[in-house]
Amino acid sequence: MPFDTELTRRLGIRIPVVQGGMQYVGYAELASAVSNAGGLGILTALTQPTPDDLRKEIRKTRTMTKYPFGVNITLLPTLQPPDYGAYAQAVIDEGVKIVETAGNSPGPVITKLKKAGIIVLHKCTTIRHAQSAIKLGVDFLSIDGFECAGHVGESDITNFILLSKARQTLKVPFIASGGFADGQGLAAALCLGAEGINMGTRFMCTVEAPIHQKIKEEIVQAQETDTALVMRRWTNTTRLYRNKVTDAVVKIERDSKTGEFAEIAPYVSGKRGRQVFVNGDPDYGVWTAGQVIGLIHDIPTCDVLVKRIEKEAEETLTSKLRLAKPKL
Ligand code: NAD
């Protein structure tokens, strides 16, 4: 077995690849496929309308995989604030052993999860936030570079700097998130000090991802320049697939005299964005994508993808080691 890292050991997975918690993508179908392939599949808590629906989705996932999987709980501004405590309780009651947290002021949720003995991976975009999460007792950090999809934070530090800074300063193991799609990326992350990687956009473009085929095809043809940053004006900067809706948001954000969030709310609404994945129209609403979108060229099953990543990483690491051997 080529991969034996703190992440594979603690989580009981075969390959150090975690599927990111993606809103309206992280259902049982994808999470179980990633776990069956040897990585860690993740259900997205807030994708479920209520904590009870999350309980049902956890039970459904259990019927689809015998391997470990986790749940993502993201705490960010929302149009309708959810009861995070109730979602966390559902996770605890259902016996899930791993949670990915992300977002602002995660203290109460992390404390609750840790009291229940759950392994917590906390995703953050700065070393300062990572240090705060360590004080809360998280088990792993998921260090999220500026390349990433969704909430990029406000510091704009890419992973070449952020991962090495994490290696130099953090006393808790970390995985690398943002910009990963292949085994060369995994090898690089391990070399920089990470115990594994987190991938979101790459897993959206797999056979099992429960989104419309046309969106997967849109991802395949997209370039690394096809994302847009919105909501910086509201200190909630988010990287999305660039489309007609993000163009409209960028214009309002730039030109609005009032700066009221309500002006862009109908455009960035998650409910509207969710329809993109149902109707297959990439311009219907907003949907998240990382710069890594330019490195995705096919729609494999999760099993094919994870095996390929494993092989590429192994080949990359061994060929580099060979190069490093002194000449006789
Ligand atoms: P939503 O429809 O409630 O909001 C749409 C977007 O506007 C989100 O990005 C949200 O953060 C932002 N927003 C809402 N109110 C805001 C305010 N007052 N100020 C600044 N920004 C504001 O969102 P949703 O799609 O139903 O998702 C629910 C929450 O879960 C959101 O916070 C979302 O970002 C988060 N989430 C994101 C991911 C991801 O992959 N990026 C994964 C899980 C959860």
Q: Is the CB of 268 under 6 A from ligand 1?
A: yes
Q: Is the CB of 104 under 6 A from ligand 1?
A: no
Cβ atoms 207, 305 nearer than 8 A:
no
pLDDT band with cut points at 50, 70 and 90 for residue 328: low
**pLDDT tens profile 23-67:** 999 999 999 999 999 999 999 999 999 999 999 999 999 999 999
* Token pair for 43: 């259900």
Q: Where in the chain is the domain with CATH 3.20.20.70?
A: 6-210+298-322
Tell the residue nearest (CA) to atom 15 of ligand 1: 78
User: Which atom of ligand 1 approaches the CA of 74 most closely?
Assistant: 44
From the CB of residue 94, how many other CB atoms can be counted at a distance below 10 Å? 16
Residue 7 has pLDDT above 80, yes or no: yes
Give me the chain's average pLDDT, please.
96
Residue 324 has pLDDT above 80, yes or no: no
Give the C-alpha separation, 247 to 50, whole Å.
32
pLDDT band with cut points at 50, 70 and 90 for residue 285: very high
* Token pair for 96: 């899930």
pLDDT band with cut points at 50, 70 and 90 for residue 117: very high
Residue 1 has pLDDT above 60, yes or no: no
Query: Would you identify the CATH topology of the domain 6-210+298-322?
Result: TIM Barrel (3.20.20)
* Helix, strand or coil, per DSSP, at residue 88: helix
Using alpha carbons, list the distances in angstroms from residue 171 to 12, 18, 137, 183, 226.
22, 21, 11, 26, 36
Give the C-alpha separation, 123 to 143, whole Å.
6
Pocket test for ligand 1, best of 71, 75, 78, 79 (most atoms within 8 A of CB): 78
